Amino acid sequence: MNIKPIVISLSLLLVGGSALADDDCDDPVAQWQPREKLRKQLETEGWTVFRIKVDDGCYEVKGTDPKGNRVEAEYSPATFELMEMEREDDDDDDDDDHRGKARSNSEPTNAERVPRKGIVKGRPSVTVE
């Protein structure tokens, strides 16, 4: 059995798969535009920019979009093309709803039992064994 075609096919598949999974920006540094230019562009569009940093060759922007959502976006540093955008509260929405429903049917948490402003009535009981 000739195994050479199988090995070549598998190696091309692996190389092609890693190329498709690459989401880094690969603009030459000589073509990059200043971060302040991106900040001004986004602020004229209604954004509030908290931070711009370089991550994987892209400008990563953290801030709020014109709708008031906290977002993390990646832009190409040469063209300011939007590469990826993610709302920071997306991951927490489903989990918070689930936790909220579970907690409403259970006992109150320690934080809910403790009186506000640190005033504790009575003496705590301690058992040492």
CATH of the domain at 45: 3.10.450
Please name the amino acid found at residue 80: F
Return the structure tokens found at 20.
Answer: 């498709």
User: What SS3 state is found at 75?
Assistant: strand
- Compute the distance between CA of residue 57 and CA of residue 92 in angstroms, rounded to an integer: 27
Kindly report the pTM of this predicted structure.
0.53
**Per-residue model confidence as pLDDT tens for the chain (129 residues):** 677 766 677 676 666 544 444 568 999 999 999 999 999 999 999 999 999 999 999 999 999 999 999 999 999 999 999 999 999 865 554 444 444 444 445 565 655 555 555 566 666 677 787
Question: How far apart are the C-alpha atoms of 72 and 61, rounded to whole Å?
Answer: 6
Number of domain units in the chain: 1
d(CA 49, CA 71): 10
Pairing status of strand 58-64 against strand 48-55: antiparallel
**Domain limits at 88?**
23-104
